[in-house]
Chain A
Amino acid sequence: GDSVTQMEGPVTLSEEAFLTINCTYTATGYPSLFWYVQYPGEGLQLLLKATKADDKGSNKGFEATYRKETTSFHLEKGSVQVSDSAVYFCALSERDQGAQKLVFGQGTRLTINP
């Protein structure tokens, strides 16, 4: 089946540093790709998404580009803030037995120090 592999954490950076969290996927079709963020004690929130190759998703200064040739969807931000500390999940949508499902990576915990 489809799968998502993302950069192992935890990742610790200083405020204003550049962030990259790698995500690669394996899929038989052409899935939509997502980044979700989970702040401490909360559920997952959609951060950004891309639905086809070469699409760029962006939100709150974060960006990710759907790269079909490298099967990747890396998350980047030019200057991180303490408030970006959270767990980040890469995910893809797959269609299985008539239902749409999300397949998640294992998550990357990000800590930003002031």
Chain B
Amino acid sequence: NAGVTQTPKFRVLKTGQSMTLLCAQDMNHEYMYWYRQDPGMGLRLIHYSVGEGTTAKGEVPDGYNVSRLKKQNFLLGLESAAPSQTSVYFCASTQPAGGSYEQYFGPGTRLTVT
């Protein structure tokens, strides 16, 4: 049981390039989330999904797109990377049952845009 995994772990992009970050979970969770972590700002929600085929915007969605074609995978895309998107990206998942809604996090992807 791997939990939540993220690919890649590190990436350097030039301004204007595109890339896709992959998140996979093997816990059969319905909800999945993408966050970015910047110094002194905690984690901010980019996009989330409440089930296969659904996505919704979070707090900071501009410049990102997402897709949830399979229940276990949640992809985050950057169509035209900007230096402001330099950050550490975390994926998380949870199952909406039991009332506590604790989220399980992946190890993160460190992205640098030059």
Name A's B-contacting residues (CB within 8 A). 32, 34, 36, 42-46, 49, 51, 89, 93, 97-102, 104-107
Q: Does B107 contact A (CB under 8 A)?
A: yes
A46 (CB) vs chain B CBs: closest residue: B102
With a CB–CB cut-off of 8 A, which chain A residues contact B50?
98-99
Is B106 a contact of A43 with CB atoms below 8 Å? yes
**Which of B42, B104, B108 contacts A104 (CB under 8 A)?**
B42
Q: What sequence of 0s and 1s flags, for each residue 42-76 of chain B, a beta carbon within 8 Å of any chain A beta carbon? A: 11110010100000101000000000000000000
Name B's A-contacting residues (CB within 8 A). 4, 31, 33, 40-45, 48, 50, 56, 58, 90, 92, 94, 96, 99-108
Q: A44-B43, A99-B56 are in contact. List 16 more A-B contacts (CB 8 A).
A: A34-B102, A43-B108, A93-B101, A98-B50, A99-B31, A99-B48, A99-B50, A100-B101, A101-B33, A101-B58, A102-B33, A104-B42, A105-B42, A106-B41, A107-B40, A107-B42
B91 (CB) vs chain A CBs: closest residue: A43
Is B56 a contact of A100 with CB atoms below 8 Å? no
Q: List 25 A-B contacts (CB under 8 A).
A: A32-B102, A34-B102, A36-B105, A43-B4, A43-B90, A43-B106, A43-B107, A44-B43, A44-B92, A44-B105, A46-B102, A51-B99, A51-B100, A89-B43, A93-B101, A99-B48, A100-B31, A100-B94, A101-B48, A102-B43, A102-B45, A104-B42, A104-B43, A106-B41, A106-B42
Secondary structure class of chain A's binding surface, majority of residues: strand
Q: A101 CA to B103 CA in the complex, in Å? A: 9
B94 (CB) vs chain A CBs: closest residue: A100
Q: A55 CA to B100 CA in the complex, in Å? A: 12
Q: A102 CA to B100 CA in the complex, in Å? A: 11
Q: A42 CA to B107 CA in the complex, in Å? A: 5
